[in-house]
């Protein structure tokens, strides 16, 4: 009986030790979008659920070849990227039950295919270094579509001319009638008319080309631009106030200065910049849209 109880106690002690050694922290990586074209970028979001853990922590990601990592929101951590390794180091993890860090991956290569992104999260638990293996994520690079090029393609309509049929052989064309001069005059007039018709057709073609180019330029001009509004101030601010936020500028409305960051062509890039603005102290930052220079 005593031996059986000893085994039970030993088993319970083993379970307690196993439970204490299991990591309570969970780390999740999200990549958006997971498919891009050459020259585009993705936003990588790391969400850490602390489960009561505090103290030192480090994220280490293996950056695939031909990708460049750019800092977006390090959640008060120290961002370092060199030799294909990305590190974000926290001497003390941010307050709260969870926190989130973000960075951008820009593809600078020329080949297509799938690239894997792997990494680990390190932290200190009960005085011991503990690691969490992140699930691998994939980014697919597809070739640029020829139909998506920005080259202007102008289709010129064919210019048709009226065929002049021969009136007969050379002998038949000799006319001894004194009135033939009148007929020759009419034929020349018809020839002039053909030239006039051709000239008008060329003019119409030129107008079609100019109209098409103008329409395409107006379409490009009318594309929606996404910005992040940082705040409204009563006076102009020094740009150093805005830290490393990209493309900071203002629009003066009356006596007020509305400050914005970025001029993004896609909404997801603009939204990813909102968190960076908030981490720089602009907690009220939000997304706005502009078209033809006007807010919509």
What is the domain-level CATH number for residue 239? Answer: 3.30.70.1070
Structure tokens at 147: 């139909």
Q: Which of 144, 159, 184 is where one domain is finished?
A: 144
The pLDDT, as a whole number, for residue 16 is 52
Q: How far apart are CA 63 and CA 139, in angstroms?
A: 11
Taking 50 as the pLDDT cut, the residues of the chain under it are 18-22, 146-189, 193, 196, 199-203, 205-206, 208-221
Q: How far apart are CA 210 and CA 204, in angstroms?
A: 10
Q: Do 230 and 140 share a domain, yes or no?
A: no
The pLDDT, as a whole number, for residue 49 is 93
The pLDDT, as a whole number, for residue 3 is 60
Q: Do 237 and 140 share a domain, yes or no?
A: no
The pLDDT, as a whole number, for residue 10 is 62
Q: Which of 92, 114, 144 is where one domain is finished?
A: 144
Q: Do 229 and 139 share a domain, yes or no?
A: no
Beta bridge partners of 117: 137
Q: Do 235 and 139 share a domain, yes or no?
A: no
Q: Do 136 and 232 share a domain, yes or no?
A: no
User: Is 31 within the bounds of a domain?
Assistant: yes
The pLDDT, as a whole number, for residue 255 is 87
User: Is 211 within the bounds of a domain?
Assistant: no
User: Is 203 within the bounds of a domain?
Assistant: no
The parent domain of residue 34 ranges over: 23-144
Structure tokens at 8: 């039970």
Q: Which of 127, 144, 161 is where one domain is finished?
A: 144
User: What global pTM score does this model have?
Assistant: 0.46
User: Is 192 within the bounds of a domain?
Assistant: no
User: Is 12 within the bounds of a domain?
Assistant: no
Q: Do residues 281 and 289 make contact, with C-beta atoms less than 8 angstroms apart?
A: no
Q: Do residues 103 and 86 make contact, with C-beta atoms less than 8 angstroms apart?
A: yes
User: Is 92 within the bounds of a domain?
Assistant: yes
User: Is 196 within the bounds of a domain?
Assistant: no
Structure tokens at 238: 């020094």
DSSP state of 97: S
Q: How many domains does the chain have?
A: 2
> What is the residue-wise DSSP string for 6-54?
HHHHHHHHHHHHHHHHS---EEEEEEE-SEEETT-EEEEEEEEE-TT--
Q: How far is CA 209 from the centre of its chain?
A: 32
Q: What is the pLDDT of residues 179-210, one digit of tens each?
A: 444 444 344 445 554 554 554 444 454 454 44
CA distances from 124 to 25, 105, 119, 164, 167 (A): 11, 28, 17, 94, 102
What is the domain-level CATH number for residue 136? Answer: 2.60.40.740
User: Is 165 within the bounds of a domain?
Assistant: no
> What is the residue-wise DSSP string for 243-268?
TT-SSEEEEEETTEEEEEEEEESSHH
């Amino acid at each position: 009986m005593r031996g059986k109880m000893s085994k039970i106690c030993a088993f319970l002690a083993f379970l307690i030790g196993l439970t204490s050694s299991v990591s309570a922290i969970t780390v999740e990586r999200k990549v958006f979008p997971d498919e891009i074209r050459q020259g585009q970028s993705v936003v990588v979001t790391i969400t850490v659920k602390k489960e009561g853990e505090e103290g030192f922590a480090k994220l280490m990601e293996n950056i695939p070849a031909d990708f460049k990592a750019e800092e977006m929101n390090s959640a008060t951590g120290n961002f370092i990227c060199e030799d294909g390794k990305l590190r974000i180091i926290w001497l003390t993890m941010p307050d709260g039950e969870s926190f989130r860090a973000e960075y951008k991956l820009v593809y600078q290569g020329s080949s297509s295919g799938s690239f894997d992104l792997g990494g680990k999260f390190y932290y200190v638990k009960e005085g011991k270094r503990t690691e969490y293996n992140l699930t691998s994520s994939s980014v697919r690079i597809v070739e640029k579509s020829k139909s998506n090029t920005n080259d202007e393609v102008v289709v010129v309509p064919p210019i048709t001319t009226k065929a002049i049929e021969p009136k007969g052989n050379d002998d038949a064309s000799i006319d001894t009638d004194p009135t033939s001069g009148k007929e020759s005059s009419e034929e020349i007039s018809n020839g002039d008319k053909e030239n006039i018709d051709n000239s008008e057709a060329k003019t119409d073609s030129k107008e079609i080309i100019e109209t098409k180019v103008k329409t395409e330029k107006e379409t490009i001009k009318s594309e929606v631009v996404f910005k992040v509004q940082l705040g409204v101030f009563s006076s102009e601010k020094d740009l150093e106030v805005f830290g490393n936020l990209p493309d900071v500028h203002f629009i003066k409305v009356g006596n007020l200065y509305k400050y914005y960051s970025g001029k993004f062509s896609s909404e997801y890039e603009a939204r990813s910049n909102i968190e960076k603005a908030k981490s720089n102290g602009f907690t009220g930052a939000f997304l706005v849209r502009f078209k033809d220079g006007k807010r919509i």
